[in-house]
Amino acid sequence: MVRVLGDRDESERIVSYFRDSALSWDILLEALPDGTAVLDEHGTMRYVNGVLAELTGYSREDLVGRNVQMLVPARHRDTEHVARREHAQDPNTRLIWSDMDLSVLCRDGSELSVDFALSPLAIEGRAWVVAAIRDNRAQRDAETAQAEVELRFRVAFEDNMAPMMFTDLDDRTIAVNDAFCQMVGYARDELMGKDSKIFTYPEDVGITEETLRRVNSGEADQVRYVKRYLHKDGRVLVVEVLRSPARDASGKNLYFVFSERDITEERALSAQLSHQALHDSLTGLANRALFEDRLAQAHAAVVRHGGLAAVLMLDLDDFKGVNDSYGHIVGDQLLVGIARRFEQVTRSTDSLCRFGGDEFLYLAQGLTSPEDAILVASRLLGALAEPFFIAGASIEQRASVGVMVWDASSTETSQLIQDADVALYEAKRRGKGHHAVFTSSMRAKEENRFATIQELRHSFQSGDLEMHYQPIVELSTSDVVGFEALMRWHHPKHGLVPPDIFIELAEQSDLILELGAFAMHESVTAASSWEPQGPRAISPYVTVNVSAHQFHDPNLVAMIEREIDQAGLAPDRLILEVTETVALQDIAETLVVMEQLNRLGIGVALDDFGTGYSSLSYLAALNPRIIKVDQSFVRPQHDLARSNTLLEAIVTLGNKLDMVVLAEGIETAAQLKRLNNLHCDLGQGFLWSPAVPNVEALTMLEEASDT
Ligand code: C2E
Ligand code: CA
Ligand code: CA
């Protein structure tokens, strides 16, 4: 059905005009790629082409004679109407709407996004129009895709936290992101079109030029390099740069993409860390790691070119005393002062390091003879000759030096330090302020010593150490009044090892503290098992030997107090045996410890009396409860008369000072008689019994109370 609005006859006439003319509508409009309709002044579609029918899903018959509004979505109908009417009033213009959200309503109710054009068709004074639509979906899709690409680019470039820059093939900036502007301190405008020289550290301009040459010549694909920038405020930045060329399909460079990283702080931090990792924080000297590195280099040089070198290990003598008497702050200052003095005598080819604590290492190179190494040792020791003035105190500090001289034949560098350490041990043994040069016999001795300490440690852990007790007898009554606790090591292979040997070894390590604590615990526990005995109901005391190291241990008194508390032993039943030598090492400290012991009610016996300093004035000051006269007076090897006189003097002195005198090592009745005549109070020796296990000590006590 054909519906015609308006002057039907007139319209028919126009249509037939065209039909009859040489230019047929059909031919013209069917040739167009766009959907096209001829509309009369009322909007009635007078003609539609096949493309329009196809696009909208209608047949031509469905459309011809119907108003075009049927193809306009409801929301656009008013607009369409107005637009067509306005167009009709100025029929000479051609209107094209593209890029707008215009659509036609298809037969199935879907909408088709289109560009839209109206062209006037003035025929015999009537304002008809040709309306054409073009499906723009493909273009729209392409635009959306393009927008997405742009969005992605913005996120990847503009919003990237890494500074990024694009440059043309002459390295002039074509784009920079915010992070880049921030890094160099320039605004975007200041950078566009310029090359990187404006923010490159002058000396590093060549780096950029070189990388440009390499990528442009095809020598490199991507270049990663580090260069310095100059921030607008003058700061120097260290920047890591990755330059990648963007290429077209044929591989031709189009432009460059720079992705960068400011590594200024990272670099500074790592420099600081590597300094810290290689230097001692207190003295600023090289540390062990750096020293070992230099030693390895020196070793390689000696292996290659021959020659002689030496490692010297220095250890400060009794440095602990400085810390103890002046405090750690002064101790630290002294270490710094010593480091400076050593530095002053360090030759430029040599190296000095703080090895830890109060130990220093010195590497001497280019020596012509072993004597040169001894000269170096003397020079280092000489640097300490003058006292140090710290915090108002004048402090004298000496050191001992172990010297290891080596040449290309010495294999391992780690062994060199160990050998210097062995020599140092020997130097210490010779006395303070000395040096010793390493010899291979020292190493054998050292290895033996080391092996024995290991065995001792192992035996201690597996319970092969035991305390034995030797009775102490009152000479006038023959009553047992106490026992001396003596340590026994049952070596799995060598049998009983004498304590003189292993105690001295343990003294050189912290093991002595563990052994001492063990001895204390065992002895105090044993003593608490000794019941009062005899008519006088004597509760025997125990005397426990305390080593030098242990005596200087600040935890000693606390440890003892804990032990007697736990065992429930009356404090006056414990006596510490301290040798004269140990007690007189540091009188001030000894007096402090003795005062603490005194307050707890624990007594002290001065052991091996007569073999050390035997200073009478100190004896009075120390005021020990017991003086143990050394065995050498009781069993003299020669000059019996003289030793008798000395023994008499000691006993008299002790009695006068109100101290108990005990004679050690009494083996014969004759020796006992002599001591009785001198009115010596107590005795100890094989005449009565050697040291025995506690079970035997208990039997001994029972038998004594039975008689
Ligand atoms: P010391 O403190 O002078 O111990 C006395 C030594 O003389 C002991 O040797 C003892 O067995 C021995 N002795 C006792 N009576 C006689 C005798 O009539 N004739 C002879 N010839 N010797 C006698 P021991 O047990 O071999 O101890 C040697 C040293 O080892 C001790 O000398 C002491 O300095 C040290 N020592 C032993 N046990 C310990 C301990 O638990 N701690 C510490 N720090 N040192 C210990
Ligand atoms: Ca003793
Ligand atoms: Ca002794």
Q: pLDDT tens digit string along 620-665?
A: 888 999 999 999 889 887 777 788 888 888 888 888 889 999 999 9
Min mean pLDDT across 15-24, 61-70, 324-333, 503-512 is at 15-24
How high is the pLDDT of residue 560?
97
Architecture of domain 453-700: Alpha-Beta Barrel (3.20)
Between vectors from CA 638 to CA 637 and to CA 642, what angle results, nearest 5°?
Answer: 120
Which residue has its alpha carbon closest to ligand 1 atom 3? 608
465, 512, 543, 545: residue to mutate for ligand 1 pocket, most atoms within 8 A of CB: 545
Both ends of the chain: CA-CA distance in Å?
A: 152
Q: Indicate if 160-268 has the same CATH topology as 8-142.
A: yes
Name the residue with the closest Cα to ligand 1, atom 8. 486
Q: Which atom of ligand 1 is nearest to the CA of 667?
A: 18
Q: Which residues line ligand 1 (CB under 6 A)?
A: 470, 485-487, 498-500, 503, 519, 545-547, 577, 607-608, 664-667, 684-686, 690-691
**Of the ligands numbered here, which is closest to the C-alpha atom of 575?**
2
Q: 700 falls in which pLDDT band (50, 70, 90)?
A: very high
Sequence-ordered list of residues with C-beta below 8 angstroms from that of 617, at least 6 positions apart, any chain: none
CA of 232 to the centre of ligand 1 (A): 82
Average the pLDDT over 595-621 and give the result. 86
pLDDT of residue 17: 66
Expressed in angstroms and rounded, the spacing between residue 691 Cα and the centre of ligand 1 is 9
Assigned fold of 8-142:
Beta-Lactamase (3.30.450)
Residues 224, 210 contacting (CB under 8 angstroms): no
Distance 317 CA to ligand 2 centre (A): 27
Asked if pLDDT for residue 3 goes beyond 50, the answer is no
pTM assigned to the model: 0.52
Residue 613 has what pLDDT?
63
- Rounded to the nearest angstrom, the distance between the alpha carbon of 639 and the centre of ligand 3 is 21
Give one DSSP letter per residue of 258-309, joined into a string: EEEEE-HHHHHHHHHHHHHHHB-TTT--B-HHHHHHHHHHHHHHHHHH--EE
CATH match for 285-438 among 3.40.50.720, 3.30.70.270, 3.20.20.70, 3.30.70.360: 3.30.70.270
Q: Whose CA is nearest to atom 20 of ligand 1?
A: 665
The span from the CA of 242 to the CA of 280, in Å, is 37
The pLDDT tens digits for 440-472 are 888 888 888 888 889 999 999 999 999 999 999
**Residues 294, 271: Cα–Cα separation, whole Å:** 19
Q: Measured between alpha carbons, how far is residue 657 from residues 481, 622, 681, 682 in Å?
A: 21, 11, 13, 16
Atom 7 of ligand 1 has which residue's CA nearest to it? 665
Taking domain 160-268, whether its CATH number is 3.30.450.20 is answered by yes
The ranges assigned to domains in the chain are 8-142, 160-268, 285-438, 453-700
Q: What is the position in ligand 1's atom list of the atom closest to the CA of 666? A: 18
- Ligand 1 atom closest to residue 468's alpha carbon, by position in its atom list: 25
CA of 665 to the centre of ligand 1 (A): 9
Confidence of residue 174 (pLDDT cuts 50, 70, 90): very high
Most ligand 1 atoms within 8 A of CB, residue of 514, 635, 664, 689 to mutate: 664
Alpha helix (H) ranges present in 306-412? Answer: 319-326, 328-344, 370-382
